[in-house]
């Protein structure tokens, strides 16, 4: 089948390619057989997008593992809790992490979800929702007065602060027991989409960056930063390009790609 994707939606293929490639390595840091199957089934015309840079490959894998760790910790702490994956794309995380009793919701826009539903099926504790994360409709289908983890991976950088700021605050106001996990780029990287070796191939410019999670307290002082973790230059070091290996200690490099974990305490 040939996917009908464009703009930001098309970037969902980047992490699928990265996880499929990683799964085939003898020293793989994770296994994602669903990613391999997806690429085998998708009739993707050969293009320059097929090959990912070394930094994107290892960076995507380390980012995936960071999210996995935080989500697994939440599910261990709250086995009857709720997990929501916004902008899920073709992420098989529910299937990889196999939550026994957690209620899990995957959400994405119609063009992505139409493709997703050709490969994945709902289960009693797993639902797929169609819509934008900025719409209110999905919120009406998700339990509220319960521990909930909401995450969005590879998403925030494609939307401006003017859109993200009120939306994130409204999320905490509605889901009062929420943990929110997402990744960000530094402002310097977000201002230079054309310097990203892989995203520059897509019609999906970066629109937002953040140099430190504490800056989010300017949005609301009640926002608590649980974690602000860089994965730039993290082991295995030999998998990174030489430039990052040499410069990984610089604050500007550490700021480039990070995973943030927030709570809200009014």
User: Could you tell me if residue 2 is inside a domain?
Assistant: no
The span from the CA of 245 to the CA of 247, in Å, is 6
Both structure tokens of 81: 């809790």
Q: Inform me whether the pLDDT recorded for 169 exceeds 60.
A: yes
Q: What is the mean pLDDT of the chain?
A: 94
The span from the CA of 106 to the CA of 88, in Å, is 6
User: Could you tell me if residue 78 is inside a domain?
Assistant: yes
Reported confidence tier of residue 1, pLDDT bands at 50, 70, 90: low
Q: Is the pTM of this model over 0.75?
A: yes
pLDDT of residue 111: 93
Name the phi and psi angles at 49, rounded to 5: -75, -15
Q: Inform me whether the pLDDT recorded for 157 exceeds 60.
A: yes
Three-state SS at 256: coil
User: Could you tell me if residue 192 is inside a domain?
Assistant: yes
Q: Single out the residue of 158, 155, 200, 154 nearest to residue 15, CA to CA.
A: 154
User: Could you tell me if residue 163 is inside a domain?
Assistant: yes
* HSE (side-chain half, CA atoms, 13 Å) at 124: 2
User: Could you tell me if residue 201 is inside a domain?
Assistant: yes
Segment 199-216 shows an average pLDDT of 94
Q: Show Cβ contacts of residue 104 under 8 Å, excluding neighbours closer than 6 positions.
A: 82, 83, 84, 85, 94, 125, 126, 127
Burial class (CB in 10 A: 0-12, 13-18, 19+), 44: middle
- The string of pLDDT tens digits covering residues 96-143 is 998 889 999 999 999 999 999 999 999 999 999 999 999 999 999 999
Segment 173-193 shows an average pLDDT of 96
- The domain that contains 141 carries what CATH number? 3.40.50.150
Q: Inform me whether the pLDDT recorded for 71 exceeds 90.
A: yes
User: Could you tell me if residue 108 is inside a domain?
Assistant: yes
Segment 178-204 shows an average pLDDT of 93
The span from the CA of 241 to the CA of 114, in Å, is 36
- The string of pLDDT tens digits covering residues 231-249 is 999 999 999 999 999 999 9
User: Could you tell me if residue 119 is inside a domain?
Assistant: yes
CB 83 within 8 A of CB 111: no
- The string of pLDDT tens digits covering residues 3-20 is 777 788 889 999 999 999
User: Could you tell me if residue 1 is inside a domain?
Assistant: no
Domain count, the chain: 1
Reported confidence tier of residue 195, pLDDT bands at 50, 70, 90: confident
Q: Inform me whether the pLDDT recorded for 46 exceeds 80.
A: no
Structural domain of 198: 7-264
User: Which residue(s) pair with 130 in the sheet?
Assistant: 108
pLDDT of residue 222: 95
pLDDT of residue 100: 87
Q: Show Cβ contacts of residue 141 under 8 Å, excluding neighbours closer than 6 positions.
A: 105, 127, 129
The span from the CA of 95 to the CA of 187, in Å, is 34
């Amino acid at each position: 089948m040939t996917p009908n994707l464009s703009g930001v939606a098309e970037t969902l293929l980047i992490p699928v390619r990265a996880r499929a490639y990683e799964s085939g390595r003898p020293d793989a840091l994770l296994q994602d057989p669903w990613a391999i199957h997806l690429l085998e089934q998708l009739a993707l015309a050969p293009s320059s997008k097929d090959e990912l840079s070394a930094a994107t490959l290892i960076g995507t894998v380390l980012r995936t593992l960071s999210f996995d760790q935080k989500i697994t910790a939440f599910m261990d702490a709250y086995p009857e809790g709720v997990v929501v994956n916004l902008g899920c794309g073709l992420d098989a995380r529910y299937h990889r992490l196999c939550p026994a009793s957690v209620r899990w919701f995957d959400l994405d826009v119609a063009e992505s979800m139409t493709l997703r539903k050709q490969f994945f099926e709902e289960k009693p504790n797993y639902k797929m929702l169609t819509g934008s994360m900025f719409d209110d409709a999905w919120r009406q289908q998700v339990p509220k007065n319960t521990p909930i983890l909401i995450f969005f991976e590879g998403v925030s950088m494609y939307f401006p602060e003017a859109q993200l700021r009120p939306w994130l605050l409204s999320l905490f106001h509605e889901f009062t027991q929420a943990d929110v996990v997402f990744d960000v780029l530094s402002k310097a990287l977000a201002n230079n989409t054309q310097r990203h070796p892989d995203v520059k191939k897509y019609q999906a410019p970066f629109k937002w960056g953040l140099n430190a999670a504490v800056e989010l307290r300017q949005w609301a002082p009640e926002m608590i930063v649980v974690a602000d973790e860089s994965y730039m230059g993290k082991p295995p070091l030999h998998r990174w390009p030489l430039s990052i290996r040499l410069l990984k200690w610089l604050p500007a490099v550490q700021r480039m790609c990070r995973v943030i974990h927030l709570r809200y305490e009014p």
